[in-house]
Amino acid sequence: MKLSQKSLSISPSPTLSIDAKYKEMLTNGEDVVGFGAGEPDCDTPDHIKAAAIEAINKGFTKYTPASGTLELKKAICKKLQDDNGLTYKPSDIVVSNGAKHSLVNVFCAILNPGDEVIIPSPFWVSYPEMVKLADGVPVTLETTESTGFKFTAAQLKAAITPKTKAIVLNSPSNPTGMLYSKQELAGIASIAVANGIFVVSDEIYEKLIYGGEQHVSIASLGDDIKALTIVVNGVSKSYSMTGWRIGYTASTGEIAAIMGNVQSHAASNPCSISQAAAVAALLGPQDSVKIMREAFLKRRDYMVKRINSIPGLSCLTPQGAFYVMMNIKGVLGREIKGKVINSCDEFCAHALEAAGVALVPGSGFGANGYVRWSYATSMENIKNGLDRIEAFLK
Ligand code: PMP
Ligand code: GLU
């Protein structure tokens, strides 16, 4: 029996596979430290949990409108207005089972077979596969450390073809942590508007920025770019709610209606209880975000300093999110603990086996020669993991 050619072309998510492997090793009592999947290590704040418990006790346990409750959509509109200066109506919002699901809805809503989507590398592992799922063609726009892993408006212009339908923008970025300034975004917006291409703006890490810089949503830079932007966000990272599965989009009402229709057949509504919890997350006290950000800042600084002190390794200082892209080109070709390491995949496989450290190879992010650490784990784990990698390379 011939199975779906399209689905056969989809590779598994390397971040989730490495995390699953790490968790399995832990369960088997193996000595391993995990830096794989990026999820905040702190618990979901109590007032959010309380809202979910209240929802259960009140019997808020049935289907909701497929694209989300009006209450949550209103809370999202308020958040977008207050935080990002963006005015949307509840009918412009679609709530989904995590931002990952939101992104799949976006590509389903905007792509026709053969449409190209520009994805700057290093990119989050899921973007190219999502585009393929929606019959689009992912086109990599390579960036390097020399430009801080950021693309310029000129590079974007050169990458556009008659088939280009959209560009994915992820600021702050997973996996590089890089943040685009307002001026850089204005340059990108003018190219997008001049060429009539959509901007899929994944802003899931907006609250996790260290230092003085501000997050700017590209949609806030004018009516023309707002009409072309689909803002993607969610509560997973900001409120340590990865397991609750609530993400959302803000777009024109036309695109929102298409996504709502697709979702109504593919998934119905996101979990009613999680939607009630998300209202509490967005409208309730925000101090947990600050506490988390302060903890991540200390961990980032420690990790960056340690990595740059190990011969053969280096990294830039990420401005946001909770990942560090470590350049391992200086150790490639070397024999490490009885094995010659020629690629980031071999580095990660050997680091897991011989040093008990779970890291994600850059290959899945379109960045060979790099390895991703997540610092959304305790300082104790971070110290332990770096000690192990230092000893591994000695
Ligand atoms: N975008 C980026 C860049 C991410 O790193 C993640 C993390 N999984 C997501 C979207 C999706 O987040 P979630 O589905 O948990 O809301
Ligand atoms: N976004 C996180 C990561 O990149 C979680 C895993 C995933 O969804 O890919 O590690």
Substitution candidate for ligand 2 out of 39, 240, 242, 370 with most atoms within 8 A of CB? 39
DSSP string, 73-122: HHHHHHHHHHHH-----GGGEEEESSHHHHHHHHHHHH--TT-EEEEEES
Q: Whose Cα sits closest to atom 9 in ligand 2? A: 15
Lining ligand 2 with CB less than 6 A are 13, 15-16, 37-39, 100, 124-126, 174
Ligand nearest to C-alpha 172: 1
> 370 has which bridge partners?
327
Ligand 2: centre distance to CA 376 (Å): 12
Give the pLDDT of residue 12. 87
**37-84 pLDDT, tens per residue?**
889 999 999 999 999 999 999 999 999 999 999 999 999 999 999 999
Q: Are 336 and 381 in contact (CB under 8 A)?
A: no
Q: Are 164 and 111 in contact (CB under 8 A)?
A: no
Which residue carries 């289907």 as its tokens?
63
Atom of ligand 2 nearest to the CA of 100: 8
Ligand 1 binding pocket includes 125 (Cβ within 6 Å): no
**Other CB atoms within 10 A of residue 373 CB:** 29
Substitution candidate for ligand 2 out of 100, 101, 124 with most atoms within 8 A of CB? 124
Q: Whose Cα sits closest to atom 3 in ligand 1? A: 174
Farthest CA pair distance, the chain: 62
Ligand 1: centre distance to CA 15 (Å): 11
Give the pLDDT of residue 17. 86
Phi/psi for 205 (5° steps) reads: -100, 15
> 119 has which bridge partners?
140
CA distance 393 to 381: 18
Substitution candidate for ligand 2 out of 15, 129, 324 with most atoms within 8 A of CB? 15
Ligand 1 binding pocket includes 36 (Cβ within 6 Å): no
Ligand 1: centre distance to CA 204 (Å): 7
Give the pLDDT of residue 376. 96
Phi/psi for 194 (5° steps) reads: -60, -30
Cα 344 from chain centroid (whole Å): 21
> 232 has which bridge partners?
202, 249
Ligand 1: centre distance to CA 88 (Å): 22
CA distance 340 to 329: 13
Ligand 1: centre distance to CA 102 (Å): 10
Atom of ligand 1 nearest to the CA of 97: 14
Give the pLDDT of residue 272. 98
Ligand nearest to C-alpha 248: 1
Atom of ligand 1 nearest to the CA of 174: 3
List, in order of start, the domains of the chain with CATH numbers.
5-43+288-393 (3.90.1150.10), 61-283 (3.40.640.10)
Residue type, 243: G
Please give the structure tokens belonging to residue 292.
């988390």
Radius of gyration of the chain (CA): 21
Closest CA to 371 of 359, 386, 381: 359
Map residue 370 onto helix, strand or coil: strand
Which residue carries 């109504």 as its tokens?
264
CA distance 273 to 60: 7
Ligand nearest to C-alpha 247: 1
Long-range contacts of 65-68 (CB under 8 A, 24+ apart): 65/269, 66/260, 66/263, 66/264, 66/267, 66/268, 66/269, 67/93, 67/94, 67/95, 67/256, 67/259, 67/260, 67/263, 67/264, 67/269, 68/93, 68/94, 68/95, 68/96, 68/248, 68/269, 68/270, 68/275
What is the full per-residue pLDDT of the chain (394 aa) written as tens digits? 999 999 999 998 888 888 888 999 999 999 999 999 889 999 999 999 999 999 999 999 999 999 999 999 999 999 999 999 999 999 999 999 999 999 999 999 999 999 999 999 999 999 999 999 999 999 999 999 999 999 999 999 999 999 999 999 999 999 999 999 999 999 999 999 999 999 999 999 999 999 888 999 999 999 999 999 999 999 999 999 999 999 999 999 999 999 999 999 999 999 999 999 999 999 999 999 999 999 999 999 999 999 999 999 999 999 999 999 999 999 999 999 999 999 999 999 999 999 999 999 999 999 999 999 999 999 999 999 999 999 999 9
Substitution candidate for ligand 2 out of 10, 11, 16, 360 with most atoms within 8 A of CB? 16
Rounded to 10 deg, the angle between the 99-110 and 253-266 helix axes is 110
